[in-house]
Chains A and B, each alone.
Chain A
Amino acid sequence: MTDLLGNDLNLQYELLGPEIALVITAALVLFADAFRRELKIGQSAIPAISILGLVVALLLSLLWIDENKDFARLVTIDNFTTFFRVLFIAVTVVVIIGSHEYIERRVSHLGEFYSLLLLSTVGAMLMAGARDLLTAYLAIEVMSFSLYILVSLAKSDTRSGEASLKYVLLGGVASAMLLYGLSFLYGVGGSTQYTEIAAALSDGTSTLELPLLLGLALIIAGLGFKASAVPFHMWTPDAYEGAPIPITAYLSATSKAATFALLLRWFAGPLLPAIDSWQWMISVLAVLTMVIGNLVALQQSNIKRLLAYSSIGQVGFMLMAIVTISDQTGSALLLHLSGYIITNLAVFMGVIAFYNRTGREEIVAFRGLAQTNPYLALVITAGLFSLAGMPLLAGFLTKFILFQSVVSGGYTWLVVTALLASTVSLYYYLQVIRQMYMYQPEGDASRWRLSPTGYLATGAMLVGVVWVGVYAAPFYTAADRAIAPLFT
């Protein structure tokens, strides 16, 4: 088939297999939930169906390793897409396994919850694969709309609705900004195709300097919002606190990673010729983000808010890799992103297990956890230490490689700032660890155990944190192969 201009269109639908599988699963989940009584299935069938669908999607994504094809000039299926497909599917699986008890007890509209979770995963996957501004924009909105609703689904928690309203209104403003920026980019580049924009920009024939700069500022603002970069971060702590914890975990993992996938695609692709115009903008954003995120985190008393600000601080580190973008920093960023996601999920799975038992989320509530559940305390401690960048845990090695690649890119001052900011971070992570190890439990001091799935999710993440920290080579190889198509 060809399009209006006579370009050949490749309509191999199996290229979109994983996305199609997840959309079908999402529909099945909704259906199964609606007719649960008629079908005589229990509540736990819903997460089971979701996981089954995710596994199918995972297998379908693995079919395209080392391929480089596109679907109708809209979606690219290369190693980069495959990397993120696998990552997003894995995150969703972990979140479902680690939190299905939480979801059953504290989330309203079970079927919608799982179905929207799957749909937002589809959106994230398409964000990584898009090769056209329109596809990318729609993918962002698919992911975001699902998340807006997911944030509001915490049962009998008035904060949830408020968080969602803030998220949706601010998200609307941000996506309007992004869209306005995209319209300028379209005007300057003369096309919505990444490759053609890149060609147009590197021609240097464009006389539209000012629209390009305004467009870049607006695009960076819009994506900065999704990535929670300061000063576009204000929704983050509120949404993180109000959302059901699994969604907080999901926001901090998939939504963030998808944004970075998009950032990488855009800034290493269509926007790369304009690097002189945006390098400073992103540097400023990175510094502000890492400094403010880490400083405000010092003042928090709620674990979800603390993790929100800590994740803002981490975004600052990751933005450094965009500033000095190259295949080295790109793969370092992918590695760090994966390590960060594993670490963050370890902490969140721990917090969810803790919340299931106690129903509390203040930091002081963690007092004496080392006595009542030493295993859980160990998981959370390992996660927090990894976030703080302690050696032999994922956070150190991946961050070190990231910093190093930024130094090679010539931005030593950024790295020095980042190192100082990360020293501050140790202080607030230690506050949580101290609560667990250095205080007596309040009230009930009896030992308790996690559910089997709780052990599975936390255990897998703990192993991951140590594995990446001790032997990151396979992850790096994967990241390296994933980034390669962007720089050829």
Chain B
Amino acid sequence: MGIDLVGMEDVWILPAIPFAVFILVSFFGRLIPRNGDFIAVLGMALVVLLVGLVLVDFQGAFHDEVFAPIAGANTYSFDWIDIGDGFFVIEFSTYVDAVTMVMLPVVSFVSLMVLVYSIGYMKGEARYGWYFAALSFFVAAMLLLVISGNLLQLYLAWEGVGLASYLLIGFYWERQSAAEAAKKAFITTRIGDVGLLIGIILLWRVTGTFDIQEIIHAAEEGVFGQTYLTVAMLFLFAGAAGKSAQFPFHVWLPDAMEGPTPVSALIHAATMVVAGVYLVARMLPVYDEVLIARDVVLYVGLITALMAATMGLVATDIKRVLAFSTVSQLGFMFAALGVGALTAAMFHLFTHAFFKSLLFLGSGSVIHATEQQEVGELGGLRKKMPITALTFTIGSLALAGIPVFAGFWSKDEILHDLQHYGPFAAYVILAVTAALTAIYTTRLVLLTFFGKPKNEQAYEHAHESPPIMTGPLVILAVLALVVGFITYQGVGESLGFVGGIGELVYLPHHGPHVFKLDIAFAAVATATAVVGVAIGIMYWWGDARRAIAAQSWAPELHQLLVRRYYLDELYQGVINHVVLGAAAVVAWFDKRVVNETGVDGSTQFVGFLGYRFKFLQTGRIPHYVLGMALGVAALAVVAIGTT
């Protein structure tokens, strides 16, 4: 290939660009016209261009058979920190393979769309420049994450995206709920992150390396004990589940919708939340060695997919419906990974990124126009906002899995693989979830864009968004229509690839596979989606009489779903009663037991020695001394007991 300007070995430059933008805009934004928003957009455009060049180089290397696509290339590395004569080496290393090449276009392109859209959406907001700076920081961390060749670097980037997400969810920090949501997201994912870190340390302990490929080789050669590796991979999965909002960590994502809508489109639909999927996909060869851990991935994915879909049925906030939908779709991806279907998972990740960011941006357009985000206040907007309505509908059809739209192909692939490699029940659960997806998607579209306006004032106020916002919507809508076709061999070849996505992204020991449309299977999937849409139309068309009737038919069930299976309450209760409770107990111990109760006990001890001791007459210092004396005694007991 002719263009060697930027090749795979140069991918380190990708995160460097938005990071430079972040530094520039956050420190000097005030001095630059428009607070430097155009710098962020141009920087991102440059990244997209460079990703294109890398892609070309990747194809070239592929055709020249420099490496098998999945084997990838450890393209660039230097010892960042090497201390203690190799005892502790942190490399900066990049690794590019087909999985990376799925992630890079998604991250860079969706980021560009979101940045452009934000120019319109965030216009006139306070901290406008800071917004673009923080978003650039996020993109830098995310790009670093997907090109990381070793786990420690990945962890750094992982924390970076978490921090960026915290900053952006809490962007409207004047709102108490936004501040709380930011904290909830940060701490929930951090709990998962501790798991990830423990997993990384466990893997390092045996192999002595952080390099992902070396760890995979070690696992395949059976360096690890089976149980040890299972535990390590489960810890790793805890990190993935935290970031990707999988059960039981899913609670933070719906609340994260407190952030600006374009942020939700980028971080909580297309990029950060798929980092967990990416991590498991990256480590999938290792999960293949420990099937118990892989099964856990499958079950967590299934539970999350179904559970989130049911919660999406009753949510009334347009963005929360989409958030539940994201959680559910991520569950699809994990379920696919849980049966070892790398291709299907990455394919769905790819298509989902486009149509879900489209849906979020569309909902942002609605919120921007009406300043309402409860579906109870919307309705009939298709007349006022034709472009938004059309693109949103396209995105919804893709999400619902209607044929030819992108979501159909990837979801079909997942269902197909589950039926072949997974237990039958798993297939049934995901099929039901697919139908539910179609139902809640239809509901959302109908309640927002069809029927009569429920809030006349908001309706009157509504208007189509400016071109700078509808432009990205249209582009993403086109993509939501067509990206699914890359599953076809012919389409892939005409784009310069070896073939369809199945021939590009696969596990070495599974080998590539050429996509063939299984008409019967596709017909079943299509029927499921169509039935779902039909049910949605039946219940929510017009004034949604049937839906309301259904609600009063089983109020407890409805309440259970609205309250999200009471999991949020449960967690809050646990935090309040266990963590803060334990803290209170310890604090109480410090001030009471050491203070009063302990004295009663010690009275007898000291009294035994013949000293006069007065009840409740001692001050604090004696209690401290008592604590120390008891401490020494305890230490001596430990010493004598263990020797």
Contact = CB atoms under 8 A, between A and B. Distances in A.
A473 B632 contact: no
Contacts of A471: 80-81
A90 interface: no
Contact of A221 (B170, B628, B640, B643): B628
Contacts of A169: 621, 625
A476 B83 contact: yes
Nearest to B182: A438
B220 interface: no
A166 B156 contact: no
B621 A295 contact: no
A392 B201 contact: no
B631 A224 contact: yes
A110 B211 CA distance: 56
A296 B628 contact: no
A217 B635 contact: yes
A225 B205 CA distance: 33
Interface residues of B, number: 56
Contacts of A170: 621, 624-625, 628
B628 A277 contact: no
A378 to B, nearest CB: 10
B638 interface: yes
Contacts of B23: none
A138 interface: no
A480 interface: yes
Interface stretch (A58-66, A81-89, A91-99, A403-411): A403-411
Contacts of A279: 642
Contacts of A355: none
Interface stretch (B190-198, B436-444, B446-454, B566-574): B190-198
Interface string A422-450: 11101100100010011010000000000
Q: DSSP class of B's interface residues: helix, strand, loop or mixed? A: helix
A225 B635 CA distance: 13
A363 interface: no
Contacts of B541: none
A218 B628 CA distance: 10
Interface string B558-587: 000000000000000000000110111011
Interface in A206-259: 209-210, 213-214, 216-218, 220-221, 224-225, 231-232, 234-235
Contacts of B81: 397, 471-473, 476
A83 to B, nearest CB: 15
A419 B83 contact: no
A76 interface: no
Given A225-B628, A284-B638, A296-B590, A416 B156 contact: no
A234 B205 contact: no
B403 to A, nearest CB: 45
A177 B84 CA distance: 37
Contact of A423 (B156, B159, B190): B190
B187 A427 contact: yes
A373 to B, nearest CB: 16
B84 A392 contact: no
A289 B116 CA distance: 51
Contacts of A426: 186-187, 190
A292 interface: yes
B627 A299 contact: no
Contact of A434 (B163, B179, B642): B179
A234 B624 contact: yes
A177 B630 CA distance: 12
Given A218-B632, A419-B194, A426-B190, A234 B173 contact: no
Contact of A437 (B173, B187, B587, B625): B173
Contacts of B584: 299
B638 A281 contact: yes
B201 A404 contact: yes
B83 A434 contact: no
B83 A177 contact: no
B635 A221 contact: yes
A45 interface: no
Contacts of B625: 169-170, 173
B553 interface: no
A15 interface: no
A43 interface: no
Contacts of A391: 155-156, 159-160
A480 B624 contact: no
Given A221-B635, A281-B639, A298-B580, A430 B186 contact: yes
Contacts of B636: 213-214, 217
Nearest to A166: B621
Which of B80, B205, B632, B636 has the most CB atoms of chain A within a 10 A radius of its CB?
A: B632
Contact of B88 (A213, A401, A434): A401
Contact of A328 (B80, B87, B587): B87
Contacts of B62: none
A232 B631 contact: yes
A37 B457 CA distance: 78
Contact of A404 (B155, B204, B583): B204
Contact of B84 (A209, A210, A328): A328
B463 interface: no
Interface in A464-483: 471-473, 476-477, 480
Contacts of A404: 88, 201, 204
Contacts of A281: 635, 638-639, 642
Contacts of B643: 209, 213, 276-277
B170 A438 contact: yes
A403 B201 contact: yes
Contacts of B179: 434, 438
A396 B583 CA distance: 24
A185 interface: no
A423 B204 contact: no
A420 B624 contact: no
A59 B41 CA distance: 52
B638 A231 contact: no
Interface string B151-191: 01001100110010000001001100001000100110011
B154 to A, nearest CB: 11
Contacts of B630: 231
B26 to A, nearest CB: 10
Interface string B72-88: 00000000111110011
Nearest to A297: B583
Q: Which of B202, B640, B642 has the most CB of A within 10 A?
A: B642
B624 A235 contact: yes
A174 interface: yes
Contacts of A486: none
B594 interface: yes
Interface of B: 80-84, 87-88, 152, 155-156, 159-160, 163, 170, 173-174, 179, 183, 186-187, 190-191, 194, 197-198, 201-202, 204-205, 579-580, 582-584, 586-587, 590, 594, 620-621, 623-625, 627-628, 630-632, 634-636, 638-640, 642-643
**In the A-B complex, the 8 residue pairs with the closest CB atoms:** A476-B83, A217-B635, A438-B173, A231-B631, A217-B636, A391-B156, A298-B583, A280-B642
6 contacts: A278-B639, A281-B635, A299-B584, A391-B159, A412-B202, A412-B205
Given A213-B639, A280-B642, A295-B583, 11 more contacts: A170-B621, A170-B628, A234-B624, A279-B642, A391-B155, A396-B159, A400-B197, A401-B83, A416-B198, A423-B191, A437-B173
Interface of A: 165-166, 169-170, 173-174, 177, 209-210, 213-214, 216-218, 220-221, 224-225, 231-232, 234-235, 276-281, 284-285, 292, 295-296, 298-299, 328, 331, 390-392, 396-397, 400-401, 403-405, 407-408, 412, 415-416, 419-420, 422-424, 426-427, 430, 434, 437-438, 440, 471-473, 476-477, 480
